[in-house]
Amino acid sequence: MMRYLAKRLFWMVPLLVGISLISFLIMHLAPGDITTTEAGFNPKASEESRQKLRKLYHLDEPLIVQYGLWLKRMAILDFGESFASHQRPVLWEKKDEKGEVTKGLIQEALPVTLLINVVSLILTLIISIPLGILAAKYRNLWQDRSITVLIFVGFSIPGFWLSLLLMYWLGVVYNVFPISGMHSINYQYLTAPHKIYDTTHHLFLPIIIPSLTGLAGFTLFVKNGMLDVLHQDYITTARAKGLPENIVLGRHALRNALLPLITIIGLSIPGLIGGSVISETIFSIPGMGKLFYDAVLMRDFPVIMGILTIGAALTLIGNLLADIAYAWADPRVRRGVGQ
């Protein structure tokens, strides 16, 4: 297991270098350099802030030196300060001379996005696993067919449109759920249980929408996994032994069908993080997606670069965790058999 882990970690190094290169390239994509585009987008940008930007990314140095410095800053996770939000630190809190602590932008936004995505992922799994089993069990019968229709619609429905519809029905017409923000205005005066209720109430729609749109993929995956496994000899053996069908499906088949699901969860992380831009913007949730969107609108380059890097790092960590979980669950991988 340790050897597997070491090998796996070693493979992340070229990936990290690649990510730093891509983000560096993006920064130099703009015609001219970013200070001129920024000036072009924001005529009010002062000479001072322009100089600051030049200094931050060492734009006066040769390209190779710039890249080296960027790599170094990525390695120590120093993304500088935001231009727009009162020059708050991009990543983590900083203490100034007077001992006052300013919280980092990502530091505040990341837990919100993680909370929403983890809860909605759990919801998706709770619903999609039984649906997938059902579709596999009743293959080509009406149960399977209606689930297939659901899957197709799920793959095709724009998440932001679903958000608008639910916002309209549940927020505007029936007024059951609040349609923006994470807390009520009087949040700070509420007692602890009310605070939890208030947040849950606000986050219901933002959580339910990604889990609805994610449902199609996972259900299809569970169904196909089950169908693959059901052809295997040991299933025939289990049935021949006279085991009840529910035990064959639930115990023998499901365990092996769910294994690849671990990988898929890992692979779905970039999509989840990326998708948070639209849902958080619609519901004004102060998470990573909203932060990124605002940064893009204001051309707040340090924040953009910071979130891009942290987003990629999260994906790598997610994939790493998924691989570790897989190795833990499947002894064949752990011991390096097969493959």
Partner 1 sequence: MTRALSNPLARWGLAIIAAVLLMALLAPWLAPYDPDAIDVKAILLSPSSAHWMGTDGLGRDVFSRMLFGARISLLVGFVAVGIATVIGVVLGAISGFYSGWVDVVIMRLVDVMLSIPTFFLILAVIAFLTPSIWNIMIVIGLTSWMGVTRLVRAEFLSLREREFVLSAQTLGAKNGRLIFRHLLPNSLTPIIVSSVLGIASAVLLESGLSFLGLGVQPPQASWGNILTDGKEYIQFAWWLSLFPGMAILLTVLGYNLLGEGLRDALDPRTNSKGS
Q: How far apart, in whole angstroms, are the C-alpha atoms of residue 221 and residue 234?
A: 21
| CB within 8 Å of 325: residues ≥ 6 apart | 262
Q: Which of 230, 295, 322, 327 binds partner 1 (CB under 8 A)?
A: 295
Residues 56-115 close enough to bind partner 1 by CB under 8 A? none
Q: Which of 4, 271, 286, 326 binds partner 1 (CB under 8 A)?
A: 271
* Smaller CB separation from partner 1, 169 or 197: 169
* Smaller CB separation from partner 1, 190 or 260: 260
Let me know: does 321 contact 136? Beta carbons within 8 Å: no
CB atoms within 10 A of CB 331: 10
Let me know: does 322 contact 266? Beta carbons within 8 Å: yes
Q: Which of 132, 202, 221, 285 binds partner 1 (CB under 8 A)?
A: 221
Report residue 214: phi and psi, to 5°.
-80, -15
Burial class from Cβ neighbours inside 10 Å (0-12, 13-18, 19+) for residue 148 reads: middle
Q: Which stretch binds partner 1 (CB under 8 A): 14-22, 87-95, 98-106, 246-254?
A: 14-22
The nearest distance, CB 331 to partner 1, in angstroms, is 23
142-156 helix and 105-137 helix, angle to the nearest 10 degrees: 150
Q: Which of 112, 308, 322, 327 binds partner 1 (CB under 8 A)?
A: 308
Closest to 82 measured CA to CA, from 68, 74, 97, 94: 94
Q: Which stretch binds partner 1 (CB under 8 A): 50-58, 94-102, 119-127, 264-272?
A: 264-272
What the block records as the tokens of 150 is: 């659901």
Kindly state whether residue 184 participates in binding partner 1, applying the rule CB under 8 A.
Answer: no
- In the chain, the largest separation of any two C-alpha atoms, in whole Å, equals 81
Binding site for partner 1 (CB under 8 A): 14-15, 18-19, 21-23, 26-27, 29-30, 34, 37, 152-153, 155-161, 164-165, 167-168, 172, 217, 220-221, 224, 264, 267, 270-271, 273-275, 277-278, 281-282, 292-293, 295-296, 299, 301, 304-305, 307-308, 311-312, 315-316, 319
